[in-house]
Amino acid sequence: MLAGGVLVQLVIGAAYAWSTFSKAILADPSAFELSTVQATVPFEVAIGMIFVGTFLGGRLQDRRGPRPVALAGVVVYAVGIVLASFARDAGDLWLLVLGYGVLGGFGLGLAYIVPIAMLQKWFPDRRGLITGIAVGGFGFGAVITSPLAQALIDSSADYQRYPTKVFLWLGLAYLVAGLLGASVFRDPPQGWTVATEARTQREEEATAEGAVPEDDVVEFTPSEALRMPQWYLLTLILTVSVTAGIAFISLAAGAASDVAGLSAVGAATLVGVMGLFNGAGRIVWAALSDRIGRRQTLIAILALQGLALVAIPHVHGAAPFYVLAAVIYLCYGGAFGTLPASATSFFGLRHSGAIYGLMLLGWSIGGVAGPLLISWLVGDEGNYTLGFTVMGVLALVGVLVPILTRRPAHLRGPQR
């Protein structure tokens, strides 16, 4: 089950390798004549469509089970990528937007939410760690796909002129691998529990302190969750973290050259290496949240993310830039790893797919707003100090949100 979940996440996480294709599309051999802004539109649409997919996928999973929803999501995603392979020039930009953006983003969202909700049910005593591993696969997807796609593009002059042709082979590979992973999905049998000594100890400690254990909650429906301030606060945490983190990610290569003085090759290498920290952050922070608590973890994520963003335009040399960039990527991934288990701790497991799927509205908002805002702040003058400082302050102010976010009142006292 876990291997299948990671495989599906690796497949759909490949969507984050778009920068490899946009670079090839904008290169001189390419038959496309697009502006930089036009070349970002398919990816922006894909990020915006993710919420539509997670919203529908979360609800369908609760009714139909995980397997059919994940299979449908993988098929739609792969079909979208294959469709994008038929774009040949600027006149076919609509085809890229429809295939990679609309269908690819919708299928991504549909499949993304399924293993997150399903695996928490199989591993209730390690919800943070298990969702971290699952979405860690998403973070590593681009790390694997980006060099593979670049190798394919460089393999022939035809692919360099029409780099979108590579999508045909990638889409077919996504289809096979995704269907293989999703085919093993299923919910645990009724009454499934996994009790461990560590969980028992945490429950005893929490009860001794006069609080209900974090993993022991009342089951809320999506409509009930939407009437509670906690849902909006958790969604706001995700929005702030994504906005600040993806703003840096969208300009990471340029900042590495302009701020740290790296060559074009060095900047590209940094972006590839940082993808590893994005994936690792989803696992490390999520596992840590099982030990120190969800709220404390989210506070630390936003605080470190903000401090690193404020500091990074003032560094000199590659080494400190690498360190601060790694912190930003770790924290960006960490929010995605920690929040699914946080939502379950607040609202229960039964409808976790639908409830967290709705929360991913913050991903779409931040994924669109972050790159647009940072590009405006940095401007043609390359004012990274202004841009990254604003984003850092946003994350630091955002620390107040998890501080103010409390579990539902009837779950705080000794009465269960």
| 78-92, 119-133, 284-298, range with the lowest pLDDT | 119-133
For residue 184, report the phi and psi dihedrals to the nearest 5 degrees: -95, 0
DSSP string, 286-303: HHHHHHH-HHHHHHHHHH
Percent of the chain with pLDDT over 90: 35
Cα separation, 372 vs 402, in Å, equals 26
Cβ-Cβ contacts under 8 Å for 109 (sequence gap 6 or more): 49, 50, 51, 52, 53, 54, 55, 56, 57, 73, 357, 360
Cα separation, 148 vs 135, in Å, equals 21
Cα separation, 137 vs 45, in Å, equals 22
Q: Which CATH number fits domain 2-182: 1.20.1250.20, 2.40.100.10, 3.30.420.10, 3.40.50.720?
A: 1.20.1250.20
Q: What is the pLDDT of residue 375?
A: 82
Q: What is the pLDDT of residue 185?
A: 93
Rg (CA), the chain: 21
Six token digits for residue 192: 């499934």
- Residue linked to tokens 């908002």: 365
Q: 3-class DSSP state for residue 184?
A: coil
Q: What is the pLDDT of residue 138?
A: 85
Instruction: Work out the average pLDDT over 221-228.
Output: 88
Instruction: Work out the average pLDDT over 51-69.
Output: 87
120 pLDDT band, cuts 50/70/90, is confident
Q: What is the pLDDT of residue 385?
A: 92
Cβ-based burial of 406 (10 A; exposed 0-12, middle 13-18, buried ≥19): middle
Instruction: Work out the average pLDDT over 244-272.
Output: 80
Instruction: Work out the average pLDDT over 187-206.
Output: 57
403-410's contacts with Cβ under 8 Å and 24+ in sequence apart are 403/295, 403/299, 404/233, 405/230, 405/233, 405/234, 405/237, 405/295, 405/298, 406/230, 407/212, 407/214, 407/217, 407/230, 407/345, 407/346, 408/217, 408/218, 408/228, 408/230, 408/346, 410/218
Burial 190-227 (b: 16+ CB within 10 A, else e): eeeeeeeeebeebbeebeeeeebbbbebeebebebbee
Q: What is the pLDDT of residue 411?
A: 53
Q: Does the pLDDT value for residue 76 go beyond 60?
A: yes
CATH class of 211-411: mainly alpha
Six token digits for residue 104: 């690819």
pTM over 0.85: no
Instruction: Work out the average pLDDT over 37-52.
Output: 84
Query: Highest mean pLDDT: which of 135-149, 213-227, 278-292?
Result: 278-292
Cα separation, 181 vs 2, in Å, equals 9
Q: Does the pLDDT value for residue 213 go beyond 80?
A: no
Cβ-Cβ contacts under 8 Å for 360 (sequence gap 6 or more): 50, 51, 54, 55, 109, 112, 113, 238
Instruction: Work out the average pLDDT over 195-209.
Output: 46
Q: What is the pLDDT of residue 232?
A: 94
Q: Does the pLDDT value for residue 10 go beyond 60?
A: yes
Q: Where are the domains of the chain?
A: 2-182, 211-411
Pick the residue with more confidence: 130 or 205? Answer: 130
202 pLDDT band, cuts 50/70/90, is low
pLDDT in tens, 315-356: 988 899 999 999 999 999 999 889 988 888 888 877 877 888
Mean pLDDT of the chain: 84
Cα separation, 162 vs 317, in Å, equals 37
Instruction: Work out the average pLDDT over 61-69.
Output: 87
Instruction: Work out the average pLDDT over 254-259.
Output: 83
Nearest Cα residue to 219 out of 343, 56, 339: 343
Instruction: Work out the average pLDDT over 166-191.
Output: 91
For residue 197, report the phi and psi dihedrals to the nearest 5 degrees: -60, -40
Q: Does the pLDDT value for residue 176 go beyond 90?
A: yes
Cα separation, 192 vs 206, in Å, equals 23
Same fold, 2-182 and 211-411: yes
74 pLDDT band, cuts 50/70/90, is very high
Helix residue ranges, H only, 193-316: 197-208, 222-225, 229-250, 252-258, 264-292, 294-311
